Structure 1
């Protein structure tokens, strides 16, 4: 059944364990980023997820990706290394700090829309005596709701993280991800400024943000079968290592030392 995703056999009984193990061995043999001797260190493992639950799998991957970028710890760092650095007085300075401008604007617009809806419902007076003010608040609510939708579409889209560097340069980082329903391919994109991921249903975004207008962009695609095991447990060490390598490629491209890495499929 070629139209089914590659991890579909994991749902089946019988030989799913064997096929999953064989798939994992093939991934380890072909992908140098997944070393079996890498220790989990102090990174906490995430709870297992149900295979096929696309939204939950994407949520877990997004959280690990954002934490790996914001924390900046090397994937080989152990808890002992962290404690030794703290004892020596070498405080770890995260390379990036998350910015909440987009989220704050969305909260403000949403809150104003809620207030407008409450006023439309409970404005003093009896209908139709208060017809004019009721109409004003209803129109205000519709306008604010529309503004919130448009703002989210044009300023956030599929982005899951907006951050700025803690270095003197203060450069920004935008991380966007995609995991389509019934797909087994997780895509991540890292850019310096907001840059929409290519999507046929976003022609207006393409006009407002032409390719290359926001600086260097790196992206990668990974199959879920290479990230999750047969029990739905995410390999956080391998995933963090992939994210950190992609982030290093982005930082090198930003400084003009490297080009965009090829996609991993």
Structure 2
């Protein structure tokens, strides 16, 4: 099955990063790593709780002076839920674009945490592969590369997937080799 070519607007920083991040996700999952969506599910669950709290505050059967106490509780709970969401995004999610489970039939008990950086007004894209749990005994040291996006896009904004795939797979191989060397 032929994959659809990925095209990005070369003048739009976010379009370029999105195309590269999507391609990284496809490449890593194609190499046997299953995506771990637990963090996304937790965030969606907390968002659902926040929406439910907002609905209770909006549609409580009593009018304003009588529902003052419930409104105060709803506002307080709503703020608490969103502070928790922000803390999850700041401390756990960071710049990560993908979390994976460990490979099947692997001795490692930790998956991959893939993150990317693409500073505004720069052509340098940084991709890092690390262990989800860096304190685990089976954690590998993180590896990264930084390259110009001009190496991977044509002048028309089409991602040259072969070049990009080679760079990502080389980084993934370097990550797995580092783990064998360190043990």
Same fold by TM (over 0.5)?
yes
DSSP 3-state at the match of 2:65: coil
Please show how residues 199-214 of structure 1 align to structure 2 within 5 Å. Answer: none
1:144 Cα offset (Å):
0.4
Superimposed CA distance per residue, residues 26-80 of structure 1 (whole angstroms, 9 cap, x where no aligned partner): xxxxxxxxxxxxxxxx5524232111211111111011111111112xxxxxxxx
Q: TM-score with structure 2 length normalisation?
A: 0.91
Q: TM-score with structure 1 length normalisation?
A: 0.63
Match of 1:225 in 2: 150
1:101 Cα offset (Å):
1.0
Which residue of the other structure, out of 132, 135, 153, is the alignment partner of 1:193? 132
Which residue of the other structure, out of 94, 99, 102, is the alignment partner of 1:157? 94
Match of 2:25 in 1: 66
Match of 2:105 in 1: 167
1:173–1:192 contact (8 Å) kept in structure 2: yes
Match of 1:34 in 2: none
2:99–2:112 contact (8 Å) kept in structure 1: yes
Please show how residues 6-155 of structure 1 align to structure 2 within 5 Å. Answer: 44-72=3-31, 95-155=32-92
Runs of 4 or more above 6 Å deviation: none
Match of 1:184 in 2: 123
- Unaligned 5+ segments in structure 2 are none
Separation in structure 2 between the aligned mates of residue 45 and residue 224 of structure 1, nearest angstrom: 20
Cα gap change, 1:180 to 1:43, in 2 (>3 Å): farther
Greater C-alpha radius of gyration: 1
DSSP 3-state at the match of 1:96: coil
1:45–1:236 contact (8 Å) kept in structure 2: no
Separation in structure 2 between the aligned mates of residue 194 and residue 56 of structure 1, nearest angstrom: 30
2:114–2:129 contact (8 Å) kept in structure 1: yes
- C-alpha root-mean-square deviation of aligned residues, in Å? 1.8
Cα gap change, 1:237 to 1:257, in 2 (>3 Å): farther
Separation in structure 2 between the aligned mates of residue 230 and residue 59 of structure 1, nearest angstrom: 17
- Aligned length, in residue pairs: 178
- Unaligned 5+ segments in structure 1 are 1-41, 73-94, 196-208, 259-265
